[in-house]
Amino acid sequence: MIHALIFTALVSGTALVSGTALVSGSPGGPVDLVETASTAGGFETLLAAAEKAGLVDTLRTADGLTLLAPTDAAFSKLPEDLLESLLRPENQESLAALLRHHVFAGRRTASELVGAQRGVTLEGTTITFSLDGGRLRAGEAQVLKNDITASNGVIHVIDQVLIPEGFSLPEEKVDSVADLIEFAVSRGVPLFNDGNPAACAAVYEVTVRALVMLSAAELGEQGVAALRQSLAVASRETPDQQAWTLRRAIDAAWLTIQRGTTASARAGTADRWTSLFEFDQGESGGSSRWFSVNDNVMGGISEGGFEQATDDTAAFLGALSLENNGGFSTIRSPSRDLELSGYGGLLIRVRGDGRTYALSAMKNDRRGEVRTWRKPFETAAGKWQEVRLPFHELELSVMGRRFPGVAIDPADIRSLSFSISDKNEAPFRLEIDWIRAYSGVELSF
């Protein structure tokens, strides 16, 4: 109903009042708001939220309402994990409370709101109103369109989602050691990627200590000892190093738990993630078996190769040349059955130089192979990143020509490659820690 109110109003005529757009009803009077919701756009998130909160029927039958309606762009400003949590079934009441914070009883025009200076919402919370440079503000939000007349109320479109004071989500339940690990990683990764390794390390440290206390049965004496050792090592490291030392310990605990899961519990399901390439010195999947395919196959003179960077990582590096119509460099893995049936995509840990690279999947590793399923990704100079590449987002490319909608079956993938073709002749370097396949877990894990 919230969506419907907005949608109907937005198809009306427009005028200006106090510097703010005013939308009036159609010549025949306000139309039914719910019926027009499906034909309008810009408020899909709000409509979905109203449905999940169970408020659509209530708002459809109520009369005399004033709605502050956030746009899709307004919802996009919320932290991604907050919006995701709000839309979960267990948080329905929290979502409903947030939406009720945007609704008032009675039809309140913009001038009435400014005159009253504040209003009490259906949630019992208070929102203040003011004029700022001739434009109406509702709390911290700017009103983009005001006084939209509807058959059962008035709508004011706003550019932010208003968060009630003291609003919080119910604490997430952690029912198992696996849930604890997933929860910790989902909280730690964004902190690290946002440039706060100390906070990430703190999350991981608490998690490792909890695993030591709670998971002796799943991990065994050796697994618990490894966790204790990681804590000792991390205590002597920088925050960045601590985060990765503890993360590797958490990863190892996860693998141990997954390997210990009974076959019956896993029947018909794929592992949550599996390692494809770990670039440890001397490992069979390390850098030594990868090979380069540069533009020299077409007459170019770009240079690029793959070499061991540290004991645990490898580097794709070189320099492009635009001479002879060249300008690309590629490294490929040897061909083998990667056993990716049932997996949803790839996850890579890389440290780049701020340039754009691409990861591709192929059905074989022949040097003359021109069909690749490709997905570009951007890097942040000097920072380790975990990049998620869903298989359904890989796009078929044949000699540089794109064929959207032609998917690759993960079961057919035999080789992977990294490439760069950004027409920048400066030296490039992409350091790679590992490549994994994931399925069924929406975490950067």
User: Residue 360 has what pLDDT?
Assistant: 94
Rounded average pLDDT over 102-123:
89
Pick the residue with more confidence: 155 or 231?
231
* C-alpha dihedral (370, 371, 373, 378), degrees to nearest 10: 10
User: Residue 19 has what pLDDT?
Assistant: 35
Rounded average pLDDT over 159-188:
76
Given pLDDT bands bounded at 50, 70 and 90, which one contains residue 170?
A: low
Which segment, 78-87, 126-135, 338-347, 413-422, is predicted with the most confidence on average?
413-422
pLDDT in tens, 380-429: 999 999 888 888 889 888 777 787 778 888 889 999 999 999 999 999 99
**C-beta atoms surrounding 407 within 10 Å:** 13
In the chain the domains, ranked by start, together with CATH numbers, are 2-158 (2.30.180.10), 177-268 (no CATH), 275-438 (2.60.120.430)
Whole-angstrom CA distances from 305 to 44, 301, 309, 416 are 47, 13, 12, 15
User: Residue 168 has what pLDDT?
Assistant: 74
User: Residue 135 has what pLDDT?
Assistant: 87
User: Residue 159 has what pLDDT?
Assistant: 92
55 Cβ contact partners less than 8 Å away, ≥ 6 residues apart: 1, 2, 96, 99, 100
pLDDT at residue 14 is higher than 50: no
Given pLDDT bands bounded at 50, 70 and 90, which one contains residue 266?
A: very low
Rounded average pLDDT over 347-365:
90
Cα-to-chain-centroid distance, residue 212:
30
User: Residue 370 has what pLDDT?
Assistant: 66
Rounded average pLDDT over 339-344:
83
pLDDT at residue 4 is higher than 70: no
Category of 133 on φ-ψ map: left (φ > 0), alpha (ψ -120 to 50) or beta: left
Helix (H) or strand (E) holding 183: helix 177-193
Nearest alpha-carbon partner for 46 in 140, 162, 141: 162
Given pLDDT bands bounded at 50, 70 and 90, which one contains residue 23?
A: very low
Average pLDDT, the chain: 78
pLDDT at residue 354 is higher than 90: yes
pLDDT at residue 373 is higher than 80: yes
C-beta of residue 50 within 8 angstroms of C-beta of residue 59: yes
* Weakest-pLDDT range from 4-8, 227-231, 322-326, 365-369: 4-8
| CA–CA dist 30, 117 (Å, integer) | 27
Q: Are strands 395-398 and 401-403 parallel, antiparallel or unpaired?
A: antiparallel
| DSSP sequence for 253-306 | HHHHHHHHS-HHHHTT---SEEEEEE--TT-TTSGGG-EE--GGGGT---EEEE
User: Residue 61 has what pLDDT?
Assistant: 73
341 Cβ contact partners less than 8 Å away, ≥ 6 residues apart: 270, 410, 411
CA-based R_g, the chain, Å: 27
Category of 321 on φ-ψ map: left (φ > 0), alpha (ψ -120 to 50) or beta: beta
Pick the residue with more confidence: 305 or 274?
305
pLDDT at residue 205 is higher than 80: yes
| CA–CA dist 132, 129 (Å, integer) | 10
User: Residue 217 has what pLDDT?
Assistant: 67
- Could you tell me the two tokens for 114? 């400014």
Pick the residue with more confidence: 281 or 96?
96
Q: Are strands 65-70 and 153-158 parallel, antiparallel or unpaired?
A: parallel
pLDDT at residue 364 is higher than 80: no
Given pLDDT bands bounded at 50, 70 and 90, which one contains residue 30?
A: low
